[in-house]
């Protein structure tokens, strides 16, 4: 099976609330996670909510990393989507889990853009 990308959805629990509520820190962690995975960072956009919480995205040449935090619950929702073979999304995900000081997490990987080649597709191409 040939896929265009790998998409990890992570549920990260038991995180340090102070880390999750620090927009500068969350942005630095997300950017460094992308770099740790071997990605090329293109743009970043983060927002601090009142009274708490941070949301943001790191746009990479290979796709994106996104985060939404709930410091009051010690919880972060993270997704890491990478295309190509040069970037490992699990490296980014594991880095984020470590830096958020998570007690536990679950994650699932979905292959995106699975290419299925049929006789009809071959004829059209």
Examine the residue annotation and report whether 63 is marked as an active-site residue of this protein.
yes
What's the number of domains the chain is made of? 1
- pLDDT tens, position by position, 76-110: 999 999 998 899 999 999 999 999 999 999 999 99
Mean pLDDT of the chain: 93
Examine the residue annotation and report whether 50 is marked as an active-site residue of this protein.
no
Three-state SS at 28: helix
- pLDDT tens, position by position, 108-125: 999 999 877 665 555 444
Which is the catalytic residue, given 13, 61, 64, 68? 68
The per-residue pLDDT for 12 is 98
Examine the residue annotation and report whether 83 is marked as an active-site residue of this protein.
yes
The per-residue pLDDT for 114 is 87
The per-residue pLDDT for 1 is 64
Measure the CA–CA gap between 64 and 13, rounded to whole angstroms: 21
Sheet (strand 54-60) strand order: 41-48, 54-60, 63-70, 75-83, 5-13, 104-112
The per-residue pLDDT for 20 is 98
Range of the domain at 86: 5-124
Which is the catalytic residue, given 63, 64, 93, 108? 63
- pLDDT tens, position by position, 5-33: 999 999 999 999 999 999 999 999 999 99
Domain CATH for 93: 3.60.90.10
Three-state SS at 109: strand
Task: Report whether pLDDT(69) > 80.
Answer: yes
The per-residue pLDDT for 73 is 98
The per-residue pLDDT for 118 is 60
Annotate 34-98 with three-state secondary structure. Answer: HHHCCCCEEEEEEEECCCCCEEEEEEECCEEEEEEEEHHHCEEEEEEEEECCCCCHHHHHHHHHH
Residue 10, class by beta-carbon neighbours within 10 Å (0-12 exposed, 13-18 middle, 19+ buried)?
buried
């Amino acid at each position: 099976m040939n896929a265009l990308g790998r998409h990890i959805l992570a549920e990260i629990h038991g995180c340090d609330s102070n880390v999750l509520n620090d927009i500068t820190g969350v942005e630095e962690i997300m950017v460094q996670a992308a770099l740790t995975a071997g990605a090329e960072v293109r743009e970043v956009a983060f927002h601090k909510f009142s009274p708490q919480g941070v949301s943001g995205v790191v746009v990479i040449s290979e796709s994106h990393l996104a985060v939404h935090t709930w410091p009051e619950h010690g919880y972060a929702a993270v997704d890491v989507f990478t295309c190509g073979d040069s970037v490992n999304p699990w490296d980014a995900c594991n880095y984020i889990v470590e830096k958020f000081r998570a007690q536990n997490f679950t994650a699932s990987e979905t292959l995106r853009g699975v290419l299925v080649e049929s006789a009809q597709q071959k004829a059209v191409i």
